Chain A
Amino acid sequence: MNSNEQSNFVDSIRKEDRVALLEIYKIYFPQTRHYIMANSGNVFDAEDVFQDALVLIYLKIKKNTLNLKNSFGSYLYGVVKFLWLKELERKRKYFGTSVEDADLLLGDIDFLEDYVKMEKRKLVLEHYNELNEECKKILDLHIKETPISISTAIMGYASDQYTMNRKSKCKSRLFRAVWNNPRYKELKDELNQQDTKVPRW
């Protein structure tokens, strides 16, 4: 595969081009599946890890921080390895070489921070999706900066004050769910161990 085709993949991910994404699955997913299944995983793990790897790359492309030193395939495979080793480390199954190998392989010192950010975002969205419909609706209105009087009318509440109270309660509920999730603590510790600053999303 030549470098034009490689950069086309990057461009296609940026554009979320379905045909090119299918091509990426066709070319690179079998090897990911093989790697993960050969290292204590199953096909569902392979699906999740491959998707997370593409999401991480997508987010880096969007931020213009993707720095491909080798081929797209090598980079993708490096991300897959990194994510899977992290997952194994989490599952306390991993006793082999250090995960720093995968980190170095990527040649990207900010990668751990990107990974933690992605995992935190996943947690927030996971808990957001678990909120009841009323909470989701009121938070959506708040996020879209809908004027409070309009939100009150849409929600059918009696007063603006009640709308504000409901919004605060829903947001607090979401906050507590994320904050109390053990995975969130793991992610905080992950960055503390690396002695990096508190991430700003």
Chain B
Amino acid sequence: MNSISRIQKYLDGSMSENELKKFREDLQKDPELVQELDLYRSIDKVVASRDEERFRKKLNEVYEAYNALPTDKIDKKPVSGKKVSKKWLIAVSATIISTLSLVFYFVAIKKESNQVIFEKYMVTYSNNLTLRSHSQLDAGKKRLEYGIQLYTRGNYSDASQQFKIVLSEDSENQNARFYNGLCYMYLNEFQSAITSFEYILTQPYSFIQENAKFYLAMCYVRINNDETAKTLLQEIISDNSSHSDIAQKVLKKLR
């Protein structure tokens, strides 16, 4: 009898006297059996207690609200609770005033760099795929899903490897190509990202093209190809796509 069956019988109270005696003896000798029993017992408790899960869901909602806040509403104060002395404040104020003068000078003569624009207006793409039971997916979809998990965790290099395998078996897979493009972008391989996004735009229409066009435009911003970026941003605005508000802001910065 394997240990799970024994544990189940033990917890159900359906062991014979001899079995029970032996099981208790084994518990004394075998720390692994103790740990197995501990895990088995704890499963019900963990699944039953949904406090933590509910709190995490709430935190996810709060984080979304936080991300939607305008930048100037986010407190940049350091966490340290130490009080700041007056002398220090005066010194800092003087430094700030002189620095501001310099900043004003530079801002007046030079617009924000494309890298700054890129970082400021870059929107993190989060997937809206409904995760189904893993066993219901075919091998390609499992790999795609695994790649998306890696991407979501910021492991772009490994994620890209997974998407490349999916594409080697199904070159028309737009999801894999799109996510691979995003990985390239986060790995600062902008030319490869551009190739991925441009390929998607040559394919029959799908909802993913709207996103591909936006990230393509941002790649062109990042590599300082303002003219192509502007053309794409204009198209995004004309299409009234979900990215049109950000496209307007980026376009304004490029002018």
Which positions in A face B, CB cutoff 8 Å? 1, 16, 18, 21-22, 25-31, 41-45, 47-48, 51, 54-55, 58-59, 62, 70-71, 73-74, 76-77, 118, 120-121, 124-125, 128, 130-133, 139-140, 142-144, 168, 171-172, 174-176, 178-179, 184, 188, 198-201
CB within 8 Å for A26 and B66 given contacts A18-B58, A201-B46 = yes
Pick the contact of B133 from A27, A59, A133, A171 — CB < 8 Å? A133
Cβ-defined contact, B81 with A74, below 8 A? yes
Given contacts A26-B74, A45-B154, A175-B4, contact A18 B56 (CB under 8 A): no
CB-CB under 8 A for A27 and B52, given A18-B58, A44-B152, A172-B4: no
- A-side interface mostly: helix
- The prevalent SS among residues of B at the interface is helix
Q: For residue A4, give the distance in angstroms from its CB to the closest CB of chain B.
A: 14
Quote the shortest CB–CB distance from B59 to chain A (angstroms): 5
Bound Cα distance A6, B110 (Å): 43
| In contact, A43 and B154 (Cβ under 8 angstroms) | yes
Chain B residues positioned under 8 Å from A18 (CB to CB): 58, 61-62, 65
Minimal Cβ-Cβ distance residue in A for B62: A21
* Stretch in contact with the other chain, from B36-44, B100-108, B204-212, B215-223: B36-44
| Distance between Cα atoms of A76 and B45 in the complex (Å) | 27
Contact (Cβ within 8 A) B79 A125: no
CA distance A71 to B63 in the complex (A): 23
Question: What are the 8 closest A-B residue pairs judged by CB atoms, nearest first?
Answer: A73-B79, A71-B81, A42-B154, A44-B154, A25-B66, A201-B42, A124-B46, A143-B48
Interchain CB contact under 8 A, A125 and B46: yes
Question: Judging by beta carbons under 8 Å apart, are B135 and A132 in contact?
Answer: yes
Q: A51-B63, A132-B133 are in contact. Are A171 and B52 (CB under 8 A)?
A: no
Could you name 7 residue pairs across A and B whose Cβ atoms are closer than 8 Å? A30-B74, A43-B154, A55-B59, A130-B133, A143-B47, A175-B36, A175-B43
Closest to A18 in B: B62
A30 contacts B43, CB within 8 Å? no
Which residues in chain B, 8-44, are within 8 Å of chain A measured between CB atoms?
8, 31, 34-36, 38-40, 42-44
Q: In the complex the two chains form, is B62's CB within 8 Å of A200's CB?
A: no
Q: Write out the residue numbers on chain B whose beta carbons fall within 8 Å of the beta carbon of A172.
A: 4, 8
Q: A179 contacts which chain B residues (CB < 8 A)?
A: 36, 39
Is the beta-carbon distance between B73 and A26 smaller than 8 angstroms? Answer: yes
**A178 near B133: Cβ-Cβ < 8 Å:** no
**Option from B46, B55, B74, B79 in Cβ contact (under 8 Å) with A74:** B79
**Chain A min CB distance to B96 (Å):** 19
Interfacial chain A residues near B154, Cβ < 8 Å: 41-45
**Would B79 and A139 count as touching, CB distance under 8 A?**
no
Residues of A within 8 A of B51 (CB): 62
